[in-house]
Structure 1
């Protein structure tokens, strides 16, 4: 029996690539490196993914001044070295409103126009922040006409009182001036689609951009999922069975899962996708190439 795909299968694959090519937008997320080696890897990834002309790239932000400073420096360097739209994360944690205004003004003065506005994770033992994400959006809009992304949670924020309370909070952020929402990573596409429908029913009229996490390490994924209230389905766990010591196969599996998600979401009308890169370019670049997003 031939191992080559049937002609009809090839036609379907070609049609899919033709349908998607030049019709989706991508963005990428990075985090500040902690060592020189990590910084080298980060810049290799940034330069490689920059060739795909993403809509923007974002850099995460910690709850201490050291991480904040690294985020600021990386954002400015990305803009100057690549010309990409660079979007820093900004949180309400460990900063006064006056400090947040000064940070925002500094970004604006340096040509940074897009900010990802978040409440941020509250460190153990610290009190709740003075303001929350919706307040931060308003503060930023009062400083200047920033393009603002906020977070959304198809499987409900871990600290939300209910799913409806979580959607109400997203609406407050949008009403305050947010331009789009980027979701936490997920694997249950039906859950995302139901969430999107509920947002539309509440007149949340901005794009709900799916956050896509290409998985290459199941143990790391399970750790992330536990922190973020994301369900890891059994079918995904089974796909990583017996390949703990085979990193190349894990990458292929993870990329395949992520591309299948993009295919289904594209058919459901999604055109923008945000990839959580974990500062590695290989999987995101390969997926984008396959999807027709190319240099």
Structure 2
């Protein structure tokens, strides 16, 4: 059975809170091995992330993984956040360098961690956390080459991370080539593909541009045609399900979905793959 996990983001308003709780309600029947809660760029949602992660951990019964970045904070501040997570029972951390607010170049805090490897080492030394990290099948925008991209991932695993979760991608071959290259480089930790169900094509294109994720020309043509023909939802479901099905057939045993707090398409994809529990019919007298 393919293991499932899901990413959410902390709400910034009362209405957004409803979206988060609806998301959790929708994905809980899928039996997630964990649910992650993101940080904003530069740690801009730090307090919201802590509040959402701790509330989910206490009330949902789900295993919660809190994102933690080192952008704009001292070592003491970052580790203080980690300590508060541990005190409330959250021992899963997704450790990331983080991006500067506004998309600028990363600048370490004067008294902070210089990169994600230093952050991972410090978290690992506490002995309190199961640490996951990011990975980039299409290479991180700051990496000079794919080889350097893979070297950084190996350094993060060697520093104490137990698993990598990838940035989303649009072709299964992107992940499969990356997985093979990581194996050749001696990376033995699990690498879980990150999946973005495209519920809004315009937003997905903007998101991909910000993340440095290339979109194949054929994919652009197909999504654009589906939108013109008023079948965008059906095509998005088919595209994502086909992508996941290919990965599973290639030996992938875990998927991580970026829900964007809009779980409907994610749930439909899981049902199409046979990964959601079947609905039961009550007997009618």
Q: 1:281 to 1:241 in 2, by over 3 A?
A: same
Is contact 2:131–2:163 with CA below 8 Å preserved after alignment? yes
Of 47, 63, 66, which aligns to 2:25? 47
Deviates more, 1:124-133 or 1:87-96: 124-133
Of 136, 141, 159, which aligns to 2:124? 141
Is contact 2:164–2:191 with CA below 8 Å preserved after alignment? yes
The secondary structure found in structure 2 opposite 1:32 is coil
The aligned residue for residue 280 of structure 1 is: 262
Unmatched tracts of structure 1, length 5 or more: 1-22
The secondary structure found in structure 1 opposite 2:5 is strand
Q: List per-residue Cα deviations over 1:84-124 (Å, max 9, x = no partner).
A: 01111100111111111111111111110110000000233
Is contact 2:137–2:167 with CA below 8 Å preserved after alignment? yes
Equivalent-residue separation in structure 1 for 2:178 and 2:269 (angstroms)? 25
Of 144, 165, 182, which aligns to 1:161? 144
The secondary structure found in structure 1 opposite 2:73 is coil
The aligned residue for residue 213 of structure 1 is: 196
Equivalent-residue separation in structure 2 for 1:273 and 1:74 (angstroms)? 23
Q: 1:103 to 1:252 in 2, by over 3 A?
A: same
Superposed structure 1 runs of 4+ greater than 4 Å apart: 63-66, 242-247
Residue 165 of structure 1 deviates from its aligned partner by 0.8
Q: 1:245 to 1:82 in 2, by over 3 A?
A: farther
Equivalent-residue separation in structure 2 for 1:32 and 1:79 (angstroms)? 13
How many residues are treated as equivalent by the alignment? 272
Aligned-pair Cα RMSD in Å: 1.8
Q: TM-score, normalised by structure 1?
A: 0.87
Unmatched tracts of structure 2, length 5 or more: 278-285
Q: TM-score, normalised by structure 2?
A: 0.90
Residue 57 of structure 1 deviates from its aligned partner by 0.6
The aligned residue for residue 281 of structure 2 is: none
Of 249, 252, 264, which aligns to 1:267? 249
